[in-house]
Chains A and B, each alone.
Chain A
Amino acid sequence: MKEDRSNKYMNPYLAGFLIGLMMIAAYYFSGEGLGGSGAFKKVAIATVNTVAPGYAHEAAYFAPSVENGKSPLNSWLVFEVIGVIMGALLSAAYFGRLSMKVGKSPKITNRTRLIAALAGGILWGVGSQLGRGCTSGLIMSGMAVNALSGYIGLAAVFGGGYLFAYFFRKLWI
């Protein structure tokens, strides 16, 4: 049996620095930064385009991604997120943390946690599209190129997080 590494984590400053290097590489090779919500947006667009292609070509939100006739899934962000999942699997297996579980406060049920996660995910999805990106796409990639929207996004997301954390703390503690 391997030594128990399940509580060992990388130094967060080092991890942040490495993400920064990744960001430079992403801009250099793909011309785009890093992103999380973008891949889900592309999956949503591809789904709509398959089910209702007529609507997808007309609606302002979907049309730009499907106009050229190529699959909206053929984008850097989709491959990046698949890479993130693969990397996470390998890293979790290496540190002995690879298992199926629901992370939550011990005081709530899995059901509550999953419903809350879904609700939060929906809000985050809508918010990220109104803000043209999520924490990684708007804030990190934006600040990496010194975009003002990135700094405003940073203040809004973390400020909003502090404001609302009090009301939802029971989901975690």
Chain B
Amino acid sequence: MKEELFVSGRNIPNIDPVLHVWHWHIPLYLFLGGLAAGLIFFATYFYISGKTDKYPTAVKIAPVIAPFAIAIGLVALILDLKHTLYFWRLFTAFRLESPMSWGAWTLGVIMPLSMVWPLIYIKDMIKYFESSSKRTTAVLKWIDGLLNDVNILKWVMDLARKYQMAIAWALFLLSIILGVYTGILLSAFNARPLWNTSILGPLFLVSGLSTGAAAVMWMSRHHFEMKAFSRFDLMLVGIEVFLIIHMFMGFNASTQAQQQAVALFWGGEFTAVFWGIFFTAGLVVPAILEIMELFGYKVPAFIPAFLILLGGLIFRFIIVDAGQITRYLY
């Protein structure tokens, strides 16, 4: 694209009238970022409140997914850039008013810390994977050996153990920023009416926490913890539904541009996929299964967990795809 040749702001390929620049990378990243935020949030929250023994999977095991999720998400983000090799320029400045700057710096700090956290619990992880996967156990044992043999790594891990509470607080706060930022990234984009609502921040945070809780529920082998996370998840799904209803109410009470944007979900082309797949299969059905479990029905934890995770992923694809085709009228 030769931007310098444009003579009109009304005819820009891929941007006007319909934005067509964000493909699978961004929603995938938003999902993985939210999932990592949720996992780190629960791990650090229960560590800080001294409930490690009550929720061992949440604190010690599940956070191992977070650095992988962030790493895959970052690869997706970098692939999305037009000038891939210039990604480092985001780290040459910090702009308080730019959500992208907040995101880049948050990711820059949370990534190494989220790698250190599971390494503190590597012995517990070896125990967890011993019965299920020989290959994973072997890799973990090899890493454990490295942590003991290589001096600098040993020094880092000793430092991390000594200041674990400080790391926990840092990760706790950063996880909330990461979760909110995945929504703010879109809502700060004021040229697209569907995204330009401040509810997206809390909505993406809650959805990220819900996917994190689902992942813990899936991995946990302790009946008490599994049930507890099923309850957390149920509560988060309730909040999510509340926020979604209010998002739509806000749009419907707003300008014509917003009303047209939301019409995509009320009879428009995203109606079936939003209400049928995300809302019903990704929120309502897992919520019903979780309620049934609370009432003593036998429901394997991975089924509602899988549906919640899938719903979270589809939700981000819908919001990114639908948001790009909404526009102000002229």
Contacts and interface: CB of A to CB of B under 8 A. Distances in A.
- Are A and B physically bound partners? yes
A69 B253 CA distance: 33
B203 interface: no
Contacts of A2: 296-297
Interface in B265-308: 269, 272-273, 276-277, 280-281, 285, 288-289, 292, 296-300, 303
Nearest to B284: A86
Given A82-B281, A90-B285, A93-B292, A98 B276 contact: no
Given A79-B276, A82-B281, A93-B292, A100 B300 contact: yes
A86 B280 contact: yes
B240 to A, nearest CB: 18
Contacts of B297: 2, 93-94, 96
Interface in A81-95: 82-83, 85-86, 89-90, 93-94
A7 interface: no
Contacts of B276: 79, 82-83
Contact of A89 (B269, B272, B273, B303): B303
A47 B276 CA distance: 21
Contacts of A82: 276-277, 281
A10 interface: no
Interface of B: 269, 272-273, 276-277, 280-281, 285, 288-289, 292, 296-300, 303
Interface on chain A toward B: helix, strand, loop, or mixed SS?
helix
Nearest to A100: B300
A81 to B, nearest CB: 11
7 contacts: A83-B280, A89-B303, A93-B289, A93-B297, A94-B297, A98-B303, A99-B298
A130 interface: no
Nearest to B302: A100
A89 B289 contact: yes
